[in-house]
Amino acid sequence: MKKNIKELREKYISNPPEGMTSEDIRHMSEDDLLDMDYFLNEDVFGDDFGEEGFYIF
């Protein structure tokens, strides 16, 4: 798992998310890094908005 975290850290250092810097990524704990990756890549809110369309009645 350490190898995956290292790869993940390098990915975000080379292309940090909006509002963050590569320096921020360097100083993140492993847990924070994994949490950030989950939040950025998963549908954490479980909303399917837009999948069936938007209708106004």
Q: Write down how long the chain is.
A: 57
55: phi > 0 → left, psi -120 to 50 → alpha, else beta; which? beta
pTM above 0.75, yes or no: no
Is residue 24 pLDDT above 90, yes or no? yes
| pLDDT in the model for residue 8 | 94
CB 33 within 8 A of CB 9: yes
| pLDDT in the model for residue 45 | 62
- Give 3's pLDDT tier (boundaries 50, 70, 90): confident
State pLDDT tens for residues 6-21. Answer: 999 999 999 999 999 9
Burial class of residue 25 in the structure, from the number of CB atoms within 10 Å of its CB (0-12 exposed, 13-18 middle, 19+ buried): buried
